[in-house]
Amino acid sequence: MFVFAGAGVSLSAPAGLPLFDWLRDEILCQLGLSRYTPPSAGATAPLSARRKVLVEVAGGLVPEPFMLALSEAGVDVQSWLSAVLSAGQPNAAHHALAQLAAAGARVWTVNFDRLIERASGGTLPAIAWPADPAPGAPLMKPHGSAGSELIVTARQVLAGLHPGWLERLRADVRGRTVVFVGYRGRDLDFQPVWDSVLRDAGDVLWFDKWCDGEMSEAEHKRLVARAADANGRLRLMPPVAPPGGAVRGAGPNPSWDFVAWCQQNLLADAHPDLVRQLFDRPAAVTYPALPGDTDWAAPAIQGLLGDYHGARGNYFRAALRPGSQRQAVSALATSYLNHGGNTMAAILTPVARWPGPGRLARAREVAERKRLTAWSRTGRHDAVLRATSRLPGDSLSTYLILRSEALRMTGLLGPAAETAQLARQRARTEQHPVRAAHAAFQECLALLWADRLPEVRACLDDYLRPYAPLAATRWVAWSDFIAGGLAVHTNDPEAALQCYLRAETRFQAEALLDGVVSVKTARLAAYRLRGEPDSYAAELARVTELSRGGERGLRYYTRRNAFTAESIDNDHAEFARCRGDLATAARLYGRTADSQHPLQAALGHLGLALIQSADGRFPSHAAVAAGIAEKLGNLAIVARSRDLLADPLPAGALRPVFFC
């Protein structure tokens, strides 16, 4: 056997070790950010709408970017985690794992605690990262062990498994029955390799809580082990009824399910008292104070959560403290550099042209990168294309990301997707989670615009969804945005509206109006698909107002952007056409057909062709639409235009067009 244990194993009593959600909420409270945490169990006052949003946004954080931000802010995360996770006593699952390892099973765990070793009485040999994994110890700890070096940050997991550890993993899995217990399968160093590793295994059994979410746990496991699932070797183990004497009404417990399976198959045993304890309420966790320099931790976490205004306020206050001015000014400058628009680009232009080697060259490169980012953010895509036309082979992934977006917006979807794919690969090599998520988003969006839907799904599941939580909450929102577009294309308006609601909630919490406007524009198509004219009209009025004037307190880089206005016009035109208001549709489509953006022009000409067909005229605009779309790389517009040219009957013109 090969057994892989996750955090769920150490949750049940008498271990009672905290999950990441508990650790995160404790740290937020210690940093004075309790507004991001759920109310205490005894609280009776209802949460305000704003507080609900903040709690939901913080709830989307995964451990690695959170711990990275704390570490970079001066908190000694590793020693704090070691102290917290050194408590508790081994439970029945730890004893079963120790017995299996002693009997010849290979046991791996990403848990930092030493409860399996303690269950063996200290006799079980273990190897913990960063030690050499080659020796044949039966217990392997690839993320480290409490009291020594730990893998906890986004950069560490983005680097992937060390080749030696991956080789050992393959050797330990090969030919064995694989058992996962209490493990979600979302560690980014393991997730990309599980499918290929498990191809050499026997049966794969997975014990976990099968709760539903934006992607159900069961669906995620099938994705992680897709080859084993395809040939019937993956078994998602069902919950087992609690044993006699256990606490009644206790929820699902994968540790008990695993122990019961071991006992049934005579693989391991546990004392009945230990088994019953699995269902006891764990003792309250005692947390020590965060060690190290915590003065800068609160604004670092606020920045991660998208509260740039709050973070900058903390940095301004820090600048008034003796000895803190230099660090505070540096943090403020970084915040404004990372989130500036055209004004910041103009300020950076002379810096980007400074001559000289050494530190001047470094300053010049940073200024150029930030300047191009500001141009891209405000829609100056032609300027970005010119500036990135001759990139060196070793250029940073940022330049490739910006070029990919510029290619997409100016009408070359195939090259845009290819450039984004290269950027994604390079960002992973750079161990930069934000760039990796941004590149995956650009790749998904280029493929979605091209109507290459199976490739969009693969990129979303394999890259954007795993990378997004490692970067920041806004990238989780953009992954929901892509998922909503896929749902519209596959005729599922309910799923689309759920995705768009999650995305808009996160964008609102980050005060990012560009994201809100993008979601509202895409939601128009979902309301059309669902047949809700009143909801459509209300959303159309709101998004039109927001796109023109913005909203106080929200950042809006692309205010009065032509592409956004044309997207709204195209959807409004299609809404009017399908409801028989051909005059309004013709006026709006005629306007977008003259767009400088190839995608909008192609949609405008297709809409005019559909109106011509509905009027019983030859759809001459379809030929124009097909020509633009073929050069652009949009398969759906090409196919629809050619269908109209081949059979320009009114019945074919009534089928609606959806674009997200």
Q: What is the pLDDT of residues 250-290, one digit of tens each?
A: 678 999 999 999 999 999 999 999 999 999 888 888 899 99
Give the confidence band of 652 by pLDDT, cuts at 50, 70, 90: low
At a CB cut-off of 8 Å and minimum separation 6, what does 339 contact? 308, 555
How large a percentage of the chain has pLDDT more than 90? 58
Q: Which residue has the tokens 């768009």?
A: 500
Give the confidence band of 193 by pLDDT, cuts at 50, 70, 90: very high
The more confidently predicted of residues 243 and 196 is: 196
Question: What is the per-residue pLDDT across 427-445, written as a single tens digit (0 to 9) for each?
Answer: 999 989 899 999 999 999 9
Give the confidence band of 633 by pLDDT, cuts at 50, 70, 90: very high
The more confidently predicted of residues 658 and 391 is: 391
The more confidently predicted of residues 357 and 85 is: 85
- The pLDDT of residue 312 is 85
Report pTM: 0.81
Provide the edge-to-edge strand list for the sheet that holds 234-236.
Answer: 126-128, 139-141, 106-109, 2-5, 178-181, 204-207, 234-236
Question: What is the per-residue pLDDT across 593-602, written as a single tens digit (0 to 9) for each?
Answer: 999 999 999 9
Number of C-beta neighbours around residue 480 at 10 A:
25
Q: How many residues belong to the chain?
A: 660
Q: What is the mean pLDDT of residues 83-90?
A: 91
What backbone torsions phi and psi does residue 227 show, to the nearest 5 degrees? -70, -45
What backbone torsions phi and psi does residue 643 show, to the nearest 5 degrees? -60, -40
Helical H segments across 103-215, by residue range: 115-119, 154-158, 163-173, 191-198
Question: What is the per-residue pLDDT across 150-178, written as a single tens digit (0 to 9) for each?
Answer: 998 888 888 889 999 999 999 999 999 99
Question: What is the per-residue pLDDT across 485-543, written as a single tens digit (0 to 9) for each?
Answer: 999 999 999 999 999 999 998 888 777 888 899 999 999 999 999 999 999 999 999 99
User: Is 410 in contact with 376 (CB distance < 8 Å)?
Assistant: no
Q: What is the mean pLDDT of residues 571-576?
A: 94
Between the CA atoms of 144, 147, 153 and 156, what dihedral angle is there, to the nearest 10 degrees? -40
pLDDT at 29 over 60: yes
Q: State how beta strands 106-109 and 2-5 pair.
A: parallel
Q: State how beta strands 204-207 and 234-236 pair.
A: parallel
pLDDT at 212 over 60: no
- The pLDDT of residue 610 is 92
Burial-class residue 632 by CB neighbours within 10 Å (0-12, 13-18, 19+): buried
Both tokens of 40, joined, read: 């205490």
As a whole number of angstroms, the distance between CA 195 and CA 201 comes to 10
- From 406, 442, 410, select the one nearest 427 (Cα to Cα): 442
pLDDT at 215 over 70: no
The more confidently predicted of residues 549 and 582 is: 582
pLDDT at 336 over 80: no
At a CB cut-off of 8 Å and minimum separation 6, what does 583 contact? none
- From 489, 437, 445, select the one nearest 467 (Cα to Cα): 437
pLDDT at 53 over 80: no
Give the confidence band of 616 by pLDDT, cuts at 50, 70, 90: confident
The mean predicted confidence, pLDDT, of the chain is 88
